[in-house]
């Protein structure tokens, strides 16, 4: 699988970030990571990624606040966002906030790749 698509991963759990980063790079994606919402927003604004993987529950600026900031920023075209959470209760809130997809932690690598394939623009996944 060769993608060249840029993905930003934002999650405060460094172990999860490392695992996701390795899986996505192995699948052919260009991956950048951030460990909190503020750092993630800066990364999205500077890199203009094709997709964002965003944890819902993080200290300081959580994933829902990040998504809200992106949607309200007229200078940023919000990329597709896959929200991740250990709490299924976050699913409807995340989708209502504009997430394109929701995955409950823990999830299988194949589920993550399938979710990415389902939301990436066709031109980015070629």
Domain annotation covers residue 111: yes
Domain annotation covers residue 1: no
Domain annotation covers residue 125: no
Residue 41: closest CA among 84, 76, 16, 15: 76
- For residue 55, the enclosing domain spans 6-119
SS3 38: helix
Residue 121 banded pLDDT, cuts 50, 70, 90: low
Give the C-alpha separation, 27 to 95, whole Å.
Answer: 26
Domain annotation covers residue 49: yes
Chain segment 24-78, per-residue pLDDT in tens: 999 999 999 999 999 999 999 999 999 999 999 998 899 999 999 999 999 888 8
Query: Is the dihedral angle over the CA atoms 88, 89, 90, 95 positive or is it negative?
Result: positive
Rg of the chain over Cα atoms, rounded to whole angstroms, equals 13
Instruction: Name the domain count of the chain.
Output: 1
Domain annotation covers residue 70: yes
Across 40-68, b (16+ Cβ under 10 Å) vs e yields: bbebbeeeebbbbbbbbbbeebbbbebbe
SS3 107: coil
Domain annotation covers residue 63: yes
Give the C-alpha separation, 69 to 97, whole Å.
Answer: 11
Chain segment 79-90, per-residue pLDDT in tens: 999 999 988 889
Domain annotation covers residue 126: no
Domain annotation covers residue 51: yes
pTM of the model: 0.91
- CATH number reported for the structural domain that contains residue 16 in this entry: 3.40.50.2300
pLDDT computed for residue 60 by the predictor:
86
């Amino acid at each position: 699988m060769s993608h060249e698509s840029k993905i930003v991963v934002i999650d405060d759990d460094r172990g999860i970030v490392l695992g996701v980063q390795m899986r996505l790079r192995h699948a052919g994606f260009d991956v950048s990571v951030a460990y909190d919402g503020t750092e993630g927003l800066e990364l999205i604004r500077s890199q203009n990624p094709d997709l964002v993987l965003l944890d819902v529950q993080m200290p300081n600026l959580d994933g829902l606040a990040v998504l809200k900031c992106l949607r309200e920023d007229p200078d940023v075209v919000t990329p597709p966002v896959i929200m991740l959470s250990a709490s299924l209760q976050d699913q409807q809130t995340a989708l209502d906030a504009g997430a394109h997809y929701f995955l409950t932690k823990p999830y299988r690598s194949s589920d993550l790749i399938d979710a990415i394939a389902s939301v990436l623009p066709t031109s980015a996944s070629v």
